[in-house]
Amino acid sequence: MQVPLLDLKAQYATIKDEVLKQINEVLDSQQCIGGPKVTELENKIAELCECKYAVGMSSGTDAILASLMALGIGPGDEVITTPFTFFATAGCIARVGAKPVFVDIDPTTYNINPALIEPVITKKTKAIMPVHLYGQVADMDPIMQIAGQASLAVVEDACQAISATYKGKKAGAIGTCGCFSFFPSKNLGGIGDGGMTVTSDEDLYKMLVWMRNHGSEPKYYHKYIGGNFRLDPIQAAALLVKLPHLADWSQMRRKNAAFYTKKFKKTVIQTPVIADDCELIFNQYVIRVPRRDELVRHLQANKIGCEIYYPVPLHLQECFAYLGYKAGDMPEAEKAAREVLALPIYPELTDEMKEFVVKTILDFYK
């Protein structure tokens, strides 16, 4: 048996006709930039997130980049974030000319440890960027409290956590703004790149709309320097077909996660810790294991897909050497990078596939 980490074809087969119909509507209208599909998706995502506004963006990365630009963050500024995330989080901070300042993670949730934030705040700090890793919202209450006291913006990198909740609040709707990715492997994935920023701040919303379109308002009058960060209407059309399924798909991921977690009880395999009052969407199901790299080879030999998110914490990436961090500075992130492993969790996994994954892993540790 083969068990891929993700099987997009299985999902596409269930919605193919509707996706093609929606894409055809865009093509027939020849409204190839912006238009009603983009607006409809923005309205629906704003509603889903319980936010006033949503601005479609060309990717999750551009959603983050445009948010930082819209907040006026640039050279001389510092943004506090986690080193245990996808590169884009800190990459965008550096791209606007600001300095990423890393603090270590909470080893149980892998999210930024709020207790470590205050000591690194300086006069230059402008924002905190928590990441909701694997589909679990970071501990936002203390983060919002610290940000409030120091008058900092909070940009949520919610790229892996659309519709996840924290104490009844939606991911992306807790901070100043929240950024989503529609990369195909995300819970709500397009048929290419796409993203969105949500906010309830009207001024920020206007800035985001300007930044998305070269800072122009009206056309050809540029008060700000923005970029082309527009969401493609063909992506919006496909996403509108997928959105009504998001709750069910995330529920199936939670069911798969519960299955694994039960089977791995009382073994050496550490399963994901779900913080109180959080509902996860399991964009990834990540275990923590001894002899991780040997297990990877064992799974590969058995044709089971798996992935390490992420093998090198950002403070140790070559491109960030200029920041002056060294090995040992973020011990929990570094330890996690050596021990974590994501298993297949996608909604369409069959019982036989899950049983095979469990059996193959338990056999390895026998």
64 vs 358 by CB, closer to ligand PLP: 64
Binding span for ligand PLP by CB under 6 A among 56-64, 223-231, 255-263, 320-328? 56-64
Is residue 235 close enough to count as binding ligand PLP by CB under 6 A? no
53 binds ligand PLP (CB under 6 A): no
Residue nearest to ligand PLP (CB): 60
- Cα angle at 26 between 25 and 31, to 5 degrees? 135
Number of amino acids touching ligand PLP (CB under 6 A): 15
Q: Quick one: CA torsion of 204, 209, 214, 216, rounded to 10 degrees?
A: -90
Q: Is 284 in the site for ligand PLP (CB under 6 A)?
A: no
Q: Does 336 bind ligand PLP (CB under 6 A)?
A: no
Q: Segment near ligand PLP (CB under 6 A), from 42-50, 82-90, 250-258, 300-308?
A: 82-90
Q: Which stretch binds ligand PLP (CB under 6 A): 57-65, 216-224, 272-280, 343-351?
A: 57-65
Near ligand PLP by CB under 6 A, which window of 41-49, 86-94, 105-113, 333-341? 86-94
96 binds ligand PLP (CB under 6 A): no
Q: Which two tokens stand for residue 60?
A: 């999750």
Of 157, 232, 332, 334, the one binding ligand PLP (CB under 6 A) is 157
> By CB under 6 A, is residue 111 in contact with ligand PLP?
no
Among 98, 159, 269, 341, binds ligand PLP (CB under 6 A): 159
In this chain, which stretch among 155-163, 202-210, 267-275, 333-341 interacts with ligand PLP, using CB under 6 A? 155-163
Contacting range for ligand PLP; rule: CB under 6 A; set: 13-21, 67-75, 152-160, 169-177: 152-160
Residues 236-255 touching ligand PLP, rule: CB under 6 A, are none
Smallest separation, CB 5 to ligand PLP (Å): 15
| Residue located via tokens 């989080």 | 89
131 near ligand PLP, rule: CB under 6 A: yes
Interface with ligand PLP, residue 187, by CB under 6 A:
no
Burial of residue 267, with CB atoms counted within 10 A of its CB: 0-12 exposed, 13-18 middle, 19 or more buried: middle
Taking CB under 6 A as the rule, does residue 86 contact ligand PLP?
A: yes
- State how far the alpha carbon of 356 is from the alpha carbons of 28, 263, 288, in Å: 46, 12, 19
Is residue 181 a contact point for ligand PLP (CB under 6 A)?
yes
85 binding ligand PLP? (CB under 6 A): yes
Q: How far is the CB of 180 from ligand PLP (least distance, A)?
A: 8
Q: Is 61 in the site for ligand PLP (CB under 6 A)?
A: yes
Applying CB under 6 A, which residues contact ligand PLP? 59-61, 85-86, 88-89, 131, 157, 159-160, 181, 183, 193, 195
